[in-house]
Amino acid sequence: MKKFYIIVATATLLVSTGLNAMAEEAAVTGDVYVGVNNMYLSRGIDVLPNADFVVQPGLDLGFGGFKVSLWANYDENSSEVTETDITLDYTYAVNDLVSLSFGNAYYVYDGVPDTNELYVACTLNTLLAPTLKVYYDWDASTETGVWATLGVSHRFSLMENLGLSLGSTVGYNAENYSTSEAYSNFQMAEFRAAVDWSINKKISLTPAVTYSVPLSDDAKDLGGIEEEVMVGLSFTYVF
């Protein structure tokens, strides 16, 4: 019950913060999507090593800088939904160069205790869009409970309705519950390439490949992080 009250309070804070922006931009925007990947790769971890593939649907609803997201992971091996994430986010532009985001992600796991992470992110709206994002697990973590990433990305227009997006991310684990509470050290580096094809203004298809490598002995020995390659295809409908 305490967890529920905190989630409601966080949602109320985010909504109230976005009221002024909502007055200027009241239209609700959103998208639904589904991705099929050969594995569930999260923070460098092969979450379901026995799965031949996973299906990951999601829904985003936004208004006035405020966004609510629902995401799930379906494991074909067990024929079960193994995780559901509910995220509340508020993003605003400090100026032309800096954007800030903050929110809460509620993770509903199958077979292990659920948890919550508060997060804050800062993006520089310049070349490569460098983004620093820090998560803090205030719920299930019994240790430091921090996960942080630093990433860059860029999209190249190949032709009309077709683009190539390249990005890389470095992750640092500080005894985070959803990663590993056994150590604090660099976790992994990920490199992603995706081709987005806009069929029309509302529908797009995106094949993508992600290559992940461990960055420390702690990540390999205590976190079980290995070299991984994830490939997949996603379908998105924008409304």
Q: pLDDT tens-digit profile of 21-30?
A: 544 555 899 9
Q: Given this model, what pLDDT does residue 25 score?
A: 53
pLDDT, averaged across the chain: 92
Topology of domain 2-238 in CATH is Porin (2.40.160)
Tokens representing residue 188 in the block: 């992994």
Q: Tell me: pLDDT of 129 over 90.
A: yes
Taking the C-alpha atoms of residue 194 and residue 165, their distance in angstroms, rounded to an integer, is: 5
Q: pLDDT tens-digit profile of 220-238?
A: 999 999 999 999 999 999 9
Taking the C-alpha atoms of residue 2 and residue 8, their distance in angstroms, rounded to an integer, is: 10
Whether residue 20 contacts residue 39, with contact meaning beta carbons closer than 8 Å, is answered with: no
Q: Tell me: pLDDT of 20 over 60.
A: no
Tokens representing residue 117 in the block: 């992470």
Q: Tell me: pLDDT of 14 over 80.
A: no
Taking the C-alpha atoms of residue 61 and residue 22, their distance in angstroms, rounded to an integer, is: 13
3-state secondary structure string across 22-72: HHHCCCCEEEEEEEEECCCEECCEECCCCCCCEEEEEEEEEECCEEEEEEE
Q: pLDDT tens-digit profile of 193-224?
A: 999 999 999 999 999 999 999 999 999 999 99
Domains of the chain, residue spans = 2-238
What is the mean predicted confidence (pLDDT) over 27-54?
97
Tokens representing residue 170 in the block: 């470095």
Q: Tell me: pLDDT of 36 over 60.
A: yes
Q: Tell me: pLDDT of 92 over 90.
A: yes
Q: Give 19's pLDDT tier (boundaries 50, 70, 90).
A: very low
pTM to 2 decimals?
A: 0.87
What is the mean predicted confidence (pLDDT) over 122-134?
97
